[in-house]
Each structure stands twice: as C-alpha cells, then as structure tokens.
Amino acid sequence: MDGMTGLERPFVEIDDVSMRYGGTEGTLALHHCDMQVKRGEFVAVVGPSGCGKSTLMRLVTGLWPCSAGSVIVAGREVDGPLSVAGMAFQAPTLLPWRTILQNVMLPLEVTEPHRRRLRSERAMYEEKARKLLALVGLKGFEHKNPHQLSGGMQQRASLCRALVHDPQLLMLDEPFGALDVFTREDLWVEMQTVCETLKPTVILVTHDLKEAVFLADRVLIMSARPGRIIAERTVPFPRPRALDLTYTQPFQELVHDLRDHISAARRGEDMPAAVPAQETTHAA
C-alpha cells in the first residue's frame, strides 16, 4: 500500500502514552509508548502475550482513554470512539437473528452521516455491501444467517462489516486467530486484495509472525508488559504477495528475526534494532 511522503503528518500518532488499569496501584499495561503510522500504511504489531497490544488498539480507537500522553488520529486528539475507524476481532460477533447482508450494513445504522442517509439511499448502500461481500467471495450468501456459514465465511462477513462505512482507519485484533491454517492463509490473500482495492490505513495486532510479514508494510515489536515499541522491521517484499512467498528464505529469515526479538522481550532484554525504532528514554 502506498504511504505518504515524509513531510506529511502521520495519520496515527501515539506520543508518550501510558495506560494503567485499576487506579494508581493497578496494572501498568503501557509505559511511554510511541508509534506513528502513515496514511495508507499497513502496520502489524507483535509482541509477547500480555504486552498491551490489544490495549493499544482500544486507545487508538477511543474506546478507552490513556492515563498519560496523547493519541492523535487524522490530526485530531482522540477523546472518544472514532467514527473514522472500523474494527474486526478474532470472534466475528455476527448477530444471529440478522442475515449476512443485514449484519454487514449494521454500522450504517449507527454511524453518521450514513445513518441520516440510509433510509433514502438504502439501495445504494445495499449495493455497496453486496460488492464488499463479492470482493471476499461471499456473493450469493447475502440472505443466509450466520449459523449457515463456516467460521472463515463469518470472518469474511465481519471484515465487510468493518469496511462498509468507508473507514479511514481499519483496526484488526487477531482477526484470523481462531481459524484453521488453510482458511487463515486464504484470508491473508483476500485481506491483501481488499486493502489494495480500498486503501485504508491498517493496524493489525497478531501473534502470527507469518501473518504479520505477509500482510504488513512494517512490523512493530513490543516489549513485555508494560508495553512499548522496542523495534521495527520494514517488510521489503513487493505486492501483490502470493502464499509461495512464505516458503522463501528471505521471508523465513524475517520471521525468525521477529521471533528472536520477541523471545528477548519475554526475557526482559531489548535487542539492537537493525531498523531504528522510536524508543523512549523515560525511566519505568
């Protein structure tokens, strides 16, 4: 995906952010965390379990306020849930009493300005939802209910729901983690196609290092809790990427490099970064 020039302001800016749960004596999840994402960029965030990856997602989307620091998206400080963001999670969370088409259109019923226009322009919105479903291989399943679809098909529908209101920012929290390896890899390819077509800014949180390298322009590595960005890797492989890429030596070397960083992070060690990351100098 095409990024913006270095002279333009990042689309997502996380500046010296800390997050503590449960008051002053509670758990410190993030500490002096810095991160920048350019408009149109696909960034993956990896790290040890419990390092604060999902917390970072919730702060960026405005679902939670940070304890210190600032989160800026599209030039504005985040002070509540973002209407410019779409989210997809590990569980599809489709409403069982609604058809797939109705599930996909749900954000249009609650997000402005689509909510105001939905009644008068329903046919246009339905056509848009159908095109998204066709893009991920679900043409013909619009009027099925979720229980009539496989787990992978439900996750495809969940992705369409996250995209139907034209979000500038797409947040993906382990969206393929519950799927079998073959379905997951198929969805990587479809995810790539969707992002190349619609070109949102994407932040993906994942434990799957192959997934991170296959999909992302950059991979950010977090420390153990309290989390902060300790290194980054630029993914050098041109797009579009085919699954055969995952068997090549350069791909596997990059995956092993990320794994070494995460293993060191679990031990509380910061490895030198070949590509300098934004690191803080604040004492923990």
Q: What is the DSSP string of 174-230?
A: STTTTS-HHHHHHHHHHHHHHHHHH--EEEEE-S-HHHHHHH-SEEEEEPSSSB-EE
pLDDT (tens digit per residue) in 48-71 = 888 888 899 889 999 888 999 999
**Residue spans of the chain under pLDDT 70:** 1-7, 269-284
Tell me the average pLDDT of the chain: 88
Query: Which domains are present in the chain?
Result: 9-84+169-284 (3.40.50.300), 92-167 (no CATH)
Which residues, at least 6 apart from 202, have a Cβ–Cβ distance to it below 8 Å?
A: 1, 41, 42, 43, 169, 170, 171, 172, 195
Q: What is residue 25's predicted lDDT score, i.e. its pLDDT?
A: 77
Q: What is residue 270's predicted lDDT score, i.e. its pLDDT?
A: 59
pTM of the model: 0.86
Between β-strands 218-222 and 42-46, what pairing exists: parallel, antiparallel or unpaired? parallel
Q: What is residue 93's predicted lDDT score, i.e. its pLDDT?
A: 87
